[in-house]
């Protein structure tokens, strides 16, 4: 076998499952000097990477090259920590799995991932799941959020994954794309993948009764080929996403709705916090920008710190 291109489906310690263009799946190690190249990230090769494979001995495969990533999604190792891990790369579409209850997803969580998607121009959709469990109050909350995000331009879907008919309507959104499903533990990411790929049997876990939280069933990302074309990445439940290489001055440009106003701020360097003549703050006060989105913006602005952790 000569050199062959492939795509990384799974990373397990020092071993990587790679799908070759001829459809074969092989387990590979990493060429020694490649491992050292990028020591700033905890994981040199990630799910979604396009790689070159060499068969160095019969049945022994080595990754010799990693193609430049067109994008990647990162998570924080711990809340507020400066340690990041790449979850997956080369994504076409992100689905944020949101639940109002069991567990409760905060808007700030949604907005962090949307910001990264925006920075890389990755298409983003929101799936509000578990409507079968929603109280009247939960429904009102879902409706309000749905209105906010729809108005900004993010397609929103409201479903119960227990209802096959509703899930069928989601299926077509995945065809021929590399999609990533992300969300807190227990929101139903693996459940959705079990619908999309019959027979895959991803482990799903009941929600803890005491805390209404997920139990971290999925522990590492895996990219799964879809029967009708395309791939989907199942990810572990995440506490907090990292922001990809975004400076404070850029940040507001990744809140789509702020772009309508930010050029009208009095100062070019306006960060929209307390500057006079800030058109963004005025739009918030007039109800043209959702308060929750502005709060997410402020929390990202103040939590990221001046010295950005940069990855490339
Ligand atoms: N009532 C209800 N339960 C659901 C729905 N969707 C998923 N569940 C249940 O929620 C629990 C968690 O689902 P998972 O698919 O394991 O969640 P996950 O997002 O993959 O969680 P992690 O792998 O821990 O990140 C399971 O018991 C599912 O059966 C839904 O629409 N309604
Ligand atoms: Mg899971
Ligand atoms: Zn401003």
* Residue of 44, 39, 48, 41 lying closest to 19 (CA atoms): 48
284 lies in the same domain as 163 = no
Domain membership flag for residue 278:
yes
91 lies in the same domain as 224 = yes
200 lies in the same domain as 52 = no
Domain membership flag for residue 242:
no
Alpha-helical regions (H) of the chain: 32-37, 107-119, 136-152, 164-171, 189-196, 248-251, 279-285, 291-303
Residue 82, token pair as written in the block: 């400066």
What is the structure's pLDDT at 309? 39
Residue to mutate, 95, 204, 237, ligand 1, most ligand atoms under 8 Å from C-beta: 204
Q: Which helix (H) or strand (E) holds 277?
A: none
Tell me the pLDDT of the chain averaged across its residues: 90
Range of the domain at 52: 4-66
Domain membership flag for residue 132:
yes
* Total of domains in the chain: 3
What is the structure's pLDDT at 172? 95
Domain membership flag for residue 239:
no
Which residues have CB under 6 Å of ligand 1? 129-130, 132-133, 160-162, 183, 185-191, 204-207, 214, 216-218, 236-237
Span 165-186, average pLDDT: 95
Q: Which of 205, 234, 263 is the last residue of a domain?
A: 234
**Among the bound ligands, the one closest to the CA of 191:** 1
220 lies in the same domain as 254 = no
Q: Does residue 291 sit in helix, strand or coil?
A: helix
> How far apart are the C-alpha atoms of 100 and 137, rounded to whole Å?
10
* Å from CA of 187 to ligand 1 middle: 5
Residue nearest to atom 24 of ligand 1 (CA): 216
* Residue of 140, 181, 136, 141 lying closest to 161 (CA atoms): 181
Lowest-pLDDT range of 161-175, 183-197, 296-310: 296-310
Q: In the chain, what percentage of residues exceed pLDDT 70?
A: 91
Strand partners, 156: 126
**At 96, is the pLDDT very low, low, confident or very high (cuts 50, 70, 90)?**
very high
Domain membership flag for residue 199:
yes
* Å from CA of 232 to ligand 2 middle: 13
* C-alpha 26: how far from chain center: 26
Asked whether 186 and 203 are in contact (CB, 8 A), the reply is no
* Å from CA of 279 to ligand 3 middle: 5
Q: Which of 40, 66, 92 is the last residue of a domain?
A: 66
What is the structure's pLDDT at 42? 65
> How far apart are the C-alpha atoms of 17 and 97, rounded to whole Å?
26
Span 217-225, average pLDDT: 92
56 lies in the same domain as 168 = no
**Among the bound ligands, the one closest to the CA of 204:** 1
279 lies in the same domain as 297 = yes
171 lies in the same domain as 294 = no
Residue 249, token pair as written in the block: 């001055």
Asked whether 283 and 270 are in contact (CB, 8 A), the reply is no
49 lies in the same domain as 197 = no
Domain membership flag for residue 311:
no
261 lies in the same domain as 120 = no
299 lies in the same domain as 165 = no
Q: Which of 234, 269, 288 is the last residue of a domain?
A: 234
Is the entire prediction scored with pTM above 0.95? no
Residues by chain with Cβ below 5 Å of ion ligand 2:
189-190, 217-218
Span 242-252, average pLDDT: 83
Domain membership flag for residue 310:
no
State pLDDT tens for residues 66-86: 999 999 888 776 655 566 788
Domain membership flag for residue 309:
no
pLDDT surpassing 60 at residue 38: no
8 lies in the same domain as 62 = yes
What is the structure's pLDDT at 32? 79
What is the domain-level CATH number for residue 285?
1.10.40.50
299 lies in the same domain as 213 = no
What is the domain-level CATH number for residue 11?
2.40.50.140
């Amino acid at each position: 076998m000569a050199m062959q291109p492939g795509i990384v489906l799974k990373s397990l310690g020092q071993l990587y499952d790679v799908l070759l263009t001829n459809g074969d799946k092989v387990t590979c190690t990493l060429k020694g000097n490649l491992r050292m190249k990028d020591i700033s990230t905890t994981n040199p090769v990630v799910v979604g990477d396009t790689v070159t494979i060499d068969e160095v001995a019969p049945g022994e495969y080595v990754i010799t090259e990693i193609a430049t990533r067109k994008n990647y999604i990162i998570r924080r190792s711990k809340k507020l920590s400066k340690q990041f891990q790449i979850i997956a790369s080369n994504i076409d579409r992100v689905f944020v799995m949101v639940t109002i209850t069991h567990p409760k997803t905060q808007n700030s969580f949604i907005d962090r991932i949307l910001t990264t998607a925006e920075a890389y121009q990755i298409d983003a959709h929101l799936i509000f799941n578990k409507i079968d469990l929603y109280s009247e109050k939960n429904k009102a909350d879902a409706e309000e959020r749905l209105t906010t995000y729809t108005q900004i331009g993010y397609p929103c879907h409201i479903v119960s994954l227990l209802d096959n008919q509703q899930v069928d309507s989601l299926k077509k959104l995945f065809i021929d794309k590399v999609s990533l499903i992300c969300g807190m533990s227990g929101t139903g990411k693996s459940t959705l993948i079990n619908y999309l790929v019959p027979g895959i049997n991803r482990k799903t876990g009941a929600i803890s009764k005491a805390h209404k939280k997920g139990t971290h069933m999925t522990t590492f990302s895996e990219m799964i080929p879809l029967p009708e074309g395309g791939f989907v990445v199942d990810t572990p439940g995440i506490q907090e996403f990292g922001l990809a290489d975004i400076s404070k001055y850029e940040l507001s440009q990744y809140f789509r709705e702020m772009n309508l106003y930010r050029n009208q701020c009095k100062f070019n360097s306006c960060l929209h916090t307390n500057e006079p003549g800030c058109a963004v703050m005025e739009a918030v006060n007039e109800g043209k920008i959702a308060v929750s989105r502005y709060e997410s913006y402020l929390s990202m602005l103040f939590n990221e710190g001046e010295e950005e952790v940069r990855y490339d």
